[in-house]
Amino acid sequence: MSLKKVVYTTLTGKLIIRRRYKPKVELDDIIIIRKNNGYRLKFKNKSFRVVFDDESILEDLLNGLWIIERVELLKSRRRLQIRFTLKREVKVEDKPKTALKLNKGIKDVEAIVFKGNKIIDKRKFRIRKNLAYDIVEYAKKFKKPVIVSEHKIPKLDVIAALNGINVVSFYSPQRNLRLKPLIIGLILIIALTAVAMVYYSSFGIATITVEKKVDVTVNIKGNVVVYAPGMCTKKIGFINTTVYGDPADYRLIIQLAHLETHCGCEVIAVQIYEGTDLKGIITPLTPALIIEEDESKNYTVEIFYLAITPCRIKIALQASVELI
């Protein structure tokens, strides 16, 4: 699968002007013209020869692949320069198989390639003008890569995105919390004690019954889409317990059965609320919560997450009850 990403870059050109001229630059006033193996910039009724710093980006702009966001006229060392801020939407891989972690030194950058938690390759690159191109070409040798860098490397984000590779500041491999695939609605029957106490467990939406005295209904949204980046909470469903007949003391066990996040998104905790009261939390490090009750209860399930970009979270909770 691929993720849409908007990238920005700049294109700078030096105006070749023999005399002082200070045009008032408006976005609609500018026309770029190819002429005699070069380029000219036209302001209304005047035109000037211009030398751009990146002709490949310029050609893509002329072919309609970039959108001009802003135009600025700058003065540098008594020379006029024109700078375009460009925008483009590209698709990058959102389910990487390998990760290239970059460690920047004084004279070079070291790239360490991980597959899961295993190092499969490494290489050093000297810091030079084409460093971003070198790193991206190296990353393209691996299957579905993602580049992880806490350091700002000029043009790396743009060049990588144009090659379908995402650049993030942190990345953790998907945790091995998956259970074997189950047919939806399958109920597992397990003998717990010598008195043949039986409980039922399931994924997603299910009903669990213990000796026909306590029912538990788990209803959560297993595929959550996060549109607004940031540190937020999001309601994903509910868990209800129903006690039949005489009050019965019981133990409700809630487990994190499956959690899958995409690059740039991290689930910090699953929160269980009774009304506005927080009953407990579940995390990847503590993937189970036990609540003891003696009457019917309604719980709300929320996730607390940190997202850098819009992403998708896949989650499943497994619940069971047993009499005390």
Q: Are residues 7 and 57 in the same domain?
A: yes
198 found inside a domain? yes
Q: Are residues 316 and 213 in the same domain?
A: yes
Q: Are residues 115 and 192 in the same domain?
A: no
When pLDDT is averaged across residues 12-36 and rounded to a whole number, the result is 69
pLDDT digits (tens, 9 = 90+) for 100-159: 999 988 889 999 999 887 899 999 999 988 898 999 999 999 988 999 988 888 889 889
pLDDT of residue 245: 64
173 found inside a domain? no
Q: Distance between CA 156 and CA 111 in Å, rounded?
A: 13
Domain boundary among 66, 89, 112: 89
Q: Are residues 160 and 240 in the same domain?
A: no
pLDDT of residue 138: 95
Q: Are residues 196 and 116 in the same domain?
A: no
Residue 107: CB partners within 8 Å, gap ≥ 6?
126, 127
When pLDDT is averaged across residues 15-44 and rounded to a whole number, the result is 70
| pLDDT at residue 226 tops 50 | yes
183 found inside a domain? no
315 found inside a domain? yes
pLDDT band at 212 (very low <50, low <70, confident <90, very high): low
Q: pTM, whole model, 2 decimals?
A: 0.49
When pLDDT is averaged across residues 1-15 and rounded to a whole number, the result is 84
246 found inside a domain? yes
Query: For 284, phi and psi rounded to 5 degrees?
Result: -60, -25
Q: What is the mean pLDDT of the chain?
A: 78
Q: Are residues 192 and 313 in the same domain?
A: yes
When pLDDT is averaged across residues 250-274 and rounded to a whole number, the result is 84
Q: Which of 67-71, 221-225, 246-250, 264-268 is most confident?
A: 67-71
Domain containing residue 68: 2-89
Domain boundary among 58, 73, 89: 89
pLDDT band at 234 (very low <50, low <70, confident <90, very high): confident
Instruction: Let me know: does 156 contact 168? Beta carbons within 8 Å.
Output: no
Q: Which of 171-180, 225-234, 307-316 is most confident?
A: 307-316
Instruction: Say how many residues make up the chain.
Output: 324
DSSP 132: H
Q: Are residues 206 and 301 in the same domain?
A: yes
180 found inside a domain? no
Domain boundary among 168, 198, 220: 168
Of 38-47, 48-57, 162-171, 295-304, the poorest mean pLDDT is in 38-47
When pLDDT is averaged across residues 57-75 and rounded to a whole number, the result is 85
When pLDDT is averaged across residues 243-256 and rounded to a whole number, the result is 78
The total of structural domains in the chain comes to 3
When pLDDT is averaged across residues 295-313 and rounded to a whole number, the result is 84
Q: Are residues 291 and 203 in the same domain?
A: yes
Q: Are residues 246 and 316 in the same domain?
A: yes
Q: Distance between CA 146 and CA 97 in Å, rounded?
A: 8
Residue 265: CB partners within 8 Å, gap ≥ 6?
226, 305, 306, 307, 308, 309, 311, 312, 313
256 found inside a domain? yes
Q: Distance between CA 69 and CA 45 in Å, rounded?
A: 23
| pLDDT at residue 319 tops 90 | no
pLDDT of residue 248: 66
| pLDDT at residue 86 tops 80 | yes
